[in-house]
A and B are shown apart, each in its own frame.
Chain A
Amino acid sequence: MKKAQSFVPEDVLIEKLARRDQQAFHWLYDQYSGALYGVVLKIVRDEEQAKDLLQDIFIKIWKNLEGYDPQKGRLFTWLLNIARNSAIDALRSGRSGANATNSISIQPDAENVYIVDRQHNTTQPDPDWIGIREEVNKLRPERKQLIDMVYFEGYTHEEVANQLNIPLGTVKTRIRSALQELKQLFKL
């Protein structure tokens, strides 16, 4: 289960992006906007805000293309991190006055998935994404929750330890187990 085969390979896209022409942007947007929008929506849970954020994110990506170093990691990961960090920052600044712990406790992960799925169903679902989602649902819920807390909510290890009331050392171990399981799931 991999990303759609019609996608432009990363190395080709990177070369196109270096030239910074409009076609390169078309490719970049067509290839990654769905994933980035999904992540942003998953984090902020508001379509209007997600739309504004996605716009800012693409502008940020376009301006910081020089900052991407293929030696350090994959392009998609780099793009996801920009989107993720932007969305988490926006979420935190918007909730600066609110009790973060409280807000997370009343938004269990299962509900998040439900919201995104429902929103997604209003548009045309991509069969490939549905396939991937089925794989993700095989992930153990407590591990999935852990990944989501760190990856989508931006929790630090300490925050996770406090939230789940487990020792700090255990957090690291569980995160590792969760990601290793995820890795196995997507290993063809």
Chain B
Amino acid sequence: MNIPEYLTSGILESYVLGAVSDEERREVECLSSIYPEIRQELDRLSAALEDYALSYSALPPIGLKEQIMAKLDFGTEAPPVETETPVVALPADSGPTYKITWIAAASLGLLVLIFSFFLLSQLRQAQRISATLRDSNETLQTEIQRQRDIRQRSEDLLAMLRQPEVRIIRLKGNDKAPTGEMMVYWHPHSRQVMVEIMNMPPLPANQQYQLWSLVNGQPVDAGVFDVTDAPQKMGRVIAQADAFAVTIEKRGGSPAPTLSSLVMMTPVTS
């Protein structure tokens, strides 16, 4: 196929002018679909002829467009055009409803959220109160236990004091504990000893007071005690005592009194 020769043969020009036979027309259309050069030349010639036709342009009579449209069948595509109004109207109608639904849903969600926060704060408050109550309950339990303990000791002391033979010795602090004051209850028959602290300086945790009985000048260990509100029954028994003395010792007590830490000593009056 000699393309340049075909391009200059004049058949393309005749084709665009519509002056070809049906056979020639099919030939041109077939070849132009195969050869881009032919197609391009056809387009150029068509465009030139379009411009030529355009030079005769005239404004059509006014109203002709409407007349034509009235006669036109917009076919299957017409219904969509007609229904376009309802379709447009539908969102417009459902718009507020849609909006209200959303507002209602959002409000409900907000309410649920607020209520949840309310419940949560209530729960936390209840937990706080519960914890406080538990604490105070524990405190009360401890206090009750303490009071029972004190009462028990007081009853022990009273039981001791009801016996006629009991000796009551008031010990006073020396220079090292000028405000010190305590009672020693001693029952020689049962050999039991109890102490009751009136006022004693508190001691560090690693130290305790230790009670001694002096028999013929010799100290005898009578047990250790802490500074408490309640009377305390001493762990040791005392058979004889000329005097009672208190020293500050290391926790647990010492076998022999540390004389330098003697805080009080009072003879047992007969």
| Chain A interfacial positions (CB closer than 8 Å to B) | 1-3, 19-22, 25-26, 29, 33-35, 37-39, 41-42, 47, 51, 54-55, 58-59, 62-63, 71-74, 76-77, 80-81, 84-85, 116, 119-120, 123-124, 126, 129, 132-133, 135-136, 147, 150-151, 154-157, 160, 172-173, 175-176, 178-180, 182-183, 185-186
In the complex, which residues of chain B have a beta carbon less than 8 angstroms from the beta carbon of A41? Answer: 56, 58
In the complex, which residues of chain B have a beta carbon less than 8 angstroms from the beta carbon of A185? Answer: 48
Tell whether, in the assembled complex, residue A175 and residue B33 are in contact, meaning their CB atoms are under 8 Å apart.
no
In Å, the complex CA distance between A26 and B81 comes to 13
Partner of A132 from the list B51, B64, B71, B77 (CB cut-off 8 Å) is B51
Tell whether, in the assembled complex, residue A179 and residue B74 are in contact, meaning their CB atoms are under 8 Å apart.
no
Tell whether, in the assembled complex, residue B17 and residue A150 are in contact, meaning their CB atoms are under 8 Å apart.
yes
Q: Please name 20 pairs of A and B residues whose Cβ atoms are closer than 8 Å in the assembled complex, sorted by A.
A: A3-B51, A19-B77, A21-B74, A25-B69, A26-B65, A33-B60, A38-B53, A39-B56, A59-B71, A73-B42, A123-B58, A126-B57, A126-B59, A147-B52, A150-B18, A175-B13, A176-B14, A179-B16, A179-B49, A182-B52
Partner of B43 from the list A73, A116, A133 (CB cut-off 8 Å) is A73
In the complex, which residues of chain A have a beta carbon less than 8 angstroms from the beta carbon of B16? Answer: 77, 179
| Chain B interfacial positions (CB closer than 8 Å to A) | 8-11, 13-14, 16-19, 29, 32-33, 42-61, 64-65, 67-69, 71-78, 80-81
Tell whether, in the assembled complex, residue A157 and residue B60 are in contact, meaning their CB atoms are under 8 Å apart.
no
Tell whether, in the assembled complex, residue A116 and residue B58 are in contact, meaning their CB atoms are under 8 Å apart.
yes
In Å, the complex CA distance between A124 and B59 comes to 7
Tell me the minimal C-beta distance from A42 to chain B in angstroms.
5
In the complex, which residues of chain B have a beta carbon less than 8 angstroms from the beta carbon of A179? Answer: 13, 16-17, 45, 48-49
Partner of B49 from the list A55, A126, A151, A157 (CB cut-off 8 Å) is A151
In Å, the complex CA distance between A160 and B76 comes to 45
Tell me the minimal C-beta distance from B222 to chain A in angstroms.
117
Tell me the minimal C-beta distance from A128 to chain B in angstroms.
8
In the complex, which residues of chain A have a beta carbon less than 8 angstroms from the beta carbon of B42? Answer: 73
Tell whether, in the assembled complex, residue B14 and residue A172 are in contact, meaning their CB atoms are under 8 Å apart.
yes
In the complex, which residues of chain B have a beta carbon less than 8 angstroms from the beta carbon of A59? Answer: 68, 71-72
In the complex, which residues of chain A have a beta carbon less than 8 angstroms from the beta carbon of B10? Answer: 172-173, 175-176
